[in-house]
């Protein structure tokens, strides 16, 4: 393959360009999937790049290219060769605009499987899931960073009396094989062949978004384009001839604002029209790649008329998955020979590799089309739109302090604002328990309701306001776009411990629930990164652990609640980092993964999305209380209630129960950590769900205080004593207990997810490793703290 000849230019590496420099891409070095990703994100020959800033820790670096802000590490930026912005480059395929060609498709049968199916396809951050939620009423998570949707979601809507399935596919920059979600989208479109594709395009970043559109056009599936965030486009003062653009792309284009529903009925009607038109012979417009490439496609079409232009182009690009399809036919050898011969001709003609040529030609088509229909506002300051907040939030000196300040505010607000409704619910639970006890006769049923169900479930219910408040703030941070900045700020730290910067996203999701966080690791490009992230995500304090933290922190750390709670999250992060280093240096040793991430523009969070997020987490919490926690509370109560022995005190009864016997058996293992047998049993039952730690303690400590009147669980823990009359709990014991709850193995649902995503052996490893870490950390803390107590 011949290299580009740029000896006449002052070629240098993008990595060496200082902050504020404006340069032009000459070439992307190397080969493979990462190079192709850079090309697809706009780092094509002739593209203008502005160096915005270094991250607070000096790596990665933020660049502006097209209308996007992209984060690259210094090592990745060193793969991009650049020249001065005013220098001319020869043989730029991107400069070529050939318009479109046409493909006639025969009659389709959209009711072949009795379902009308529309696939939602678009870049990350383009608003796909917002549109999906608005149309279907679904409650999928909407986050302003890539990788939220890692699997398809199906919903339904009815228009003109016809019921249509809407499929929300993962966000993807293209249909290559760089990431698992890209292959998922590509395979879905090829094998499921939806009746129409609804392509969501960010109206503020059409040049980059329409690259994916060019790939979809070559699939010859009925296409409708939704220009999302149209309100922002209109506010910019730019102009767009939508009718002319529709004619150029051969697809109906509808402006929409997904977050408030504007234009959505119109775009859904357009989808139905596209499906109905496909029932008859229809014409699809395709990108015209010029005489040489079109001649290659024509030769391959003659050999494999069953394959669409997109797949045939991938054959020319030597794409592994496309070649696997070719090899299934009898004439595979002939097809490969034609593709190889024509590939060499194209590379000689353009003096570049085939992937670069095709990518440049696609961007040439996009730029040529936009030149005819898009008129930018000459007075608009494109450099600041949607990114002005970064002057503070990713500032070299302020970025990290602001990140920690925001996290502290979130945790402190969880306590301060949640204290009042928590007290109301706590009082209501106590009153309800007393009322039930007063109207029922003594007996097993009364004890079950009061000491088992109400004490167990009620002990967890009181923390619902805190959880709602916590996820309200997390929703604001996600929807605003700040979470991507957090990943940008901490990437150097993540890189140092052997993790990809994108691992930060599953970690953030892990603060909510480990199961979707483990699933979100699918967005990582290689298995080694996925395994390490999967095994370390459980160290993030999920919301299920929060009731135990809130209980113990409020009981024993009244003066510094926010700081103590934040310290637990920090310990979890530190242990995740330690584990990542350990794994990356031993059993999962491998070269680091290359890093590229988009920094989306800041957007104002909507009350609707925040409410959806809070409702989703709140309803999950309530469902868990009505199922897993309820059943576990009954089981724990039964194990602590039976066998019955007349004449025993309440404490003697509990100690001699089945639960007491289990606890006494494991007490020697947990006593060095400062735990008694009740605490040991609580962490054991927490294997089902971490909230059950609190409900178990609520059941086991019922009636163990000197005061026979009803008291809250917090008060019981503050006053309960051992056989020597010493307080069982103090701040040291409480913190040691929280450390163990933080670090030991996750719930059964999370372990099942680990087994599904990583395999049985890694699930078993996780159980033994995390339990050992939890015991060791709690032991060291407790024994050390008692020396200075």
Low-confidence ranges of the chain (pLDDT < 50): 1-5, 111, 703-710
DSSP 602: P
8 A C-beta contact, residue 634 and residue 642: no
Domain endpoint, select from 287, 320, 337: 287
pTM of the model: 0.81
Query: Are 266 and 321 in the same domain?
Result: no
The pLDDT value given to residue 705: 35
Tokens of 619: 């309803």
Q: Is residue 599 part of a domain?
A: no
CA 8 – CA 173 distance, rounded (Å): 34
pLDDT at 1: 40
* 738 sits in which H/E element: helix 731-743
The answer to whether residue 371 sits within a structural domain is: yes
Whether residue 382 is contained in a domain is answered as no
What interhelical angle do 677-685 and 630-641 show, nearest 10? Answer: 150
The dihedrals phi and psi of 375, each to the nearest 5 degrees, come to: -120, 105
Alpha-carbon gap, residue 633 to 631, rounded angstroms: 5
Distance CA 196, CA 209 (A): 18
Environment class of residue 288 by beta-carbon count within 10 Å: exposed (0-12), middle (13-18) or buried (19+)? middle
Six-digit token string for 342? 């024509």
Domain that holds residue 74: 12-92
Same domain for 115 and 78: no
Of 256, 287, 318, the last residue of a domain is 287
Same domain, 370 and 315: yes
Inter-residue contact 755 to 525 (CB < 8 Å): no
The CA-based angle 400-402-408, given to 5 degrees, is 105
For 594, the token pair is 């290359």
- pLDDT score at 733: 95
Report how far residue 309's alpha carbon sits from residue 219's, in angstroms, rounded to the nearest whole number: 6
One domain for residues 46 and 161: no
Q: What is the sign of the dihedral through the CA atoms of 345, 348, 354 and 359?
A: negative
Nearest alpha-carbon partner for 197 in 172, 177, 178, 232: 172
DSSP letter for 626, please. I
Give 495-519 pLDDT, tens digit per residue: 887 776 667 778 877 887 787 678 7
Domains held by the chain: number: 5
**Pair 658, 762 in one domain:** yes
- How would DSSP label each residue in 242-288? HHHHHHHHTSEEEE-BTTTTBTHHHHHHHHHHHHHHTTS-EEEEEE-
CA-based angle 773:775:777, to the nearest 5?
65
Task: Pick left, alpha or beta for residue 586 (phi over 0 → left; psi -120 to 50 → alpha; otherwise beta).
Answer: alpha
Tens digits of residue pLDDT in 731-774: 999 999 999 999 999 888 788 889 888 889 999 999 999 999 99
Specify whether 710 is located in the same domain as 760.
yes
Measured distance CA(294)–CA(287) in Å, rounded: 10
Does residue 266 sit in the same domain as residue 317? no
Residue 380 inside a domain? The answer is no
Same domain, 130 and 74: no
Residue 4 pLDDT: 47
Say whether both 178 and 201 belong to one domain: yes
- Same-domain check for residues 33 and 52: yes
User: Are the C-beta atoms of residues 672 and 783 closer than 8 Å to each other?
Assistant: yes
Cα four-point dihedral sign 193, 198, 202, 206: positive
Q: Are residues 356 and 469 in the same domain?
A: no
Q: 59 with 195, same domain?
A: no
Q: Is residue 388 part of a domain?
A: no
User: Rounded to whole angstroms, how far apart are CA atoms 201 and 198?
Assistant: 10
Do strands 282-287 and 196-202 pair parallel, antiparallel, or not at all (unpaired)? unpaired
Last residue of a domain, one of 540, 568, 589: 589
Question: Which residues does 387 contact at the CB level (< 8 Å), separation at least 6?
Answer: 69, 599, 601, 602
**How many C-beta atoms surround the C-beta of residue 277 within 10 A?**
15
């Amino acid at each position: 393959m011949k290299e580009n000849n740029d000896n006449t230019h002052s070629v240098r590496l993008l990595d060496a360009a200082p902050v504020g420099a404006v340069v032009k891409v000459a070439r992307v070095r190397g080969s493979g999937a990462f190079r192709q990703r850079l090309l697809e994100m706009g780092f094509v020959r002739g593209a203008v790049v502005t160096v915005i800033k270094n991250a607070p820790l000096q790596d990665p670096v933020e660049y502006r290219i097209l209308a996007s802000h992209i984060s690259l590490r210094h090592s990745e930026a060193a793969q991009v060769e650049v020249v001065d912005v005013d220098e001319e480059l020869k043989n730029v395929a991107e400069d070529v605009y050939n318009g479109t060609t046409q493909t006639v498709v025969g009659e389709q049968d959209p009711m072949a499987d009795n379902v009308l199916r529309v696939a939602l396809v678009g870049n990350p951050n383009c608003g796909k899931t917002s549109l999906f939620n608005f149309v279907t009423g679904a409650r999928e998570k909407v986050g302003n960073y890539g990788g939220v949707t890692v699997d398809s979601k199906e919903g339904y809507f009815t228009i003109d009396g016809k019921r249509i399935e809407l499929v929300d596919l993962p966000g993807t920059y293209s249909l290559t094989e760089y990431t698992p979600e890209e292959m998922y989208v590509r395979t879905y479109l090829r094998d499921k062949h939806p009746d129409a594709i609804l392509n969501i395009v960010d109206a503020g970043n059409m040049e980059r978004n329409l690259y994916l559109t060019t790939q979809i056009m070559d699939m010859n599936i009925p296409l409708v384009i939704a220009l999302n965030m149209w309100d922002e486009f209109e506010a910019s003062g730019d102009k767009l001839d939508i009718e002319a653009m529709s004619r150029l792309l051969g697809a109906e284009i509808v402006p929409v604002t997904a977050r408030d529903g504007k234009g959505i009925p119109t775009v859904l009607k357009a989808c139905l029209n596209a499906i109905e038109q496909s029932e008859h012979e229809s014409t699809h417009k395709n990108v015209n790649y010029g005489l040489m490439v079109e001649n290659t496609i024509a030769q391959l079409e003659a050999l494999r008329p069953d394959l669409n232009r997109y797949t045939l182009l991938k054959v020319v690009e030597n794409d592994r998955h496309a070649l696997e399809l070719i090899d299934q036919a009898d004439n595979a050898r002939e097809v490969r020979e034609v593709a190889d011969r024509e590939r060499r001709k194209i590379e000689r003609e353009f003096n570049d590799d085939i992937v670069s040529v095709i990518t440049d030609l696609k961007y040439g088509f996009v730029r040529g089309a936009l030149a005819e229909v898009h008129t930018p506002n000459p007075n608009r300051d494109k450099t600041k739109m949607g990114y002005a907040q970064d002057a503070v939030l990713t500032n070299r000196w302020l970025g990290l302090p602001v990140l920690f300040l925001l996290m502290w505010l979130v945790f402190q607000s969880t306590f301060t604002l949640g204290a009042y409704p928590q007290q109301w619910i706590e009082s209501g639970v106590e009153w309800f328990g007393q009322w039930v006890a007063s109207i029922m006769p003594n007996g097993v049923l009364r004890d079950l309701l009061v000491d088992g169900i109400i004490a167990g479930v009620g002990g967890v219910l009181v923390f619902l306001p805190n959880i709602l408040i916590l996820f309200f703030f997390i929703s604001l941070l996600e929807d605003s776009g700040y979470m991507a900045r957090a990943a940008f700020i901490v990437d150097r730290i993540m890189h140092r411990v052997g993790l990809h910067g994108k691992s930060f996203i599953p970690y953030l999701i892990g603060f909510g629930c480990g199961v979707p966080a483990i699933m979100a690791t699918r967005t990582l490009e290689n298995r080694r990164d996925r395994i390490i992230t999967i095994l370390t995500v459980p160290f993030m304090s999920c919301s299920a652990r929060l009731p135990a933290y809130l209980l113990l922190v409020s009981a024993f750390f009244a003066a510094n609640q926010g700081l103590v709670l934040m310290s637990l999250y920090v310990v979890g992060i530190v242990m995740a980092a330690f584990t990542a280093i350990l794994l990356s240096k031993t059993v999962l040793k491998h070269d680091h993964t290359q890093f590229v991430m988009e920094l989306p523009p800041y957007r104002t969070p909507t009350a609707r999305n925040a409410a959806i997020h809070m409702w989703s987490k709140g309803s999950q919490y309530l469902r868990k209380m009505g199922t897993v926690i309820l059943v576990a509370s009954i089981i724990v109560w039964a194990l602590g209630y039976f066998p019955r022995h007349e004449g025993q005190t309440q404490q003697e009864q509990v100690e001699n129960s089945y639960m007491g016997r289990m606890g006494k058996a494991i007490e020697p293992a947990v006593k060095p950590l400062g735990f008694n047998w009740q605490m040991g049993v609580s962490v054991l039952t927490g294997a089902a769900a971490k909230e059950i730690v609190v409900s178990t303690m609520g059941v086991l400590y019922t009636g163990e205080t000197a005061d026979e009147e009803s008291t809250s669980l917090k008060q019981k823990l503050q006053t309960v004593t051992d056989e020597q009359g010493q307080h069982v709990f103090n701040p040291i014991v409480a913190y040691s207990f929280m450390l163990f709850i933080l670090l030991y193995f996750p719930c059964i649902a999370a372990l099942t997810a680990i087994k599904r995503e990583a395999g049985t052996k890694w699930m078993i490893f996780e159980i033994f490793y995390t339990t050992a870490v939890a015991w060791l950390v709690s032991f060291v803390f407790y024994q050390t703290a008692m020396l200075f107590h």
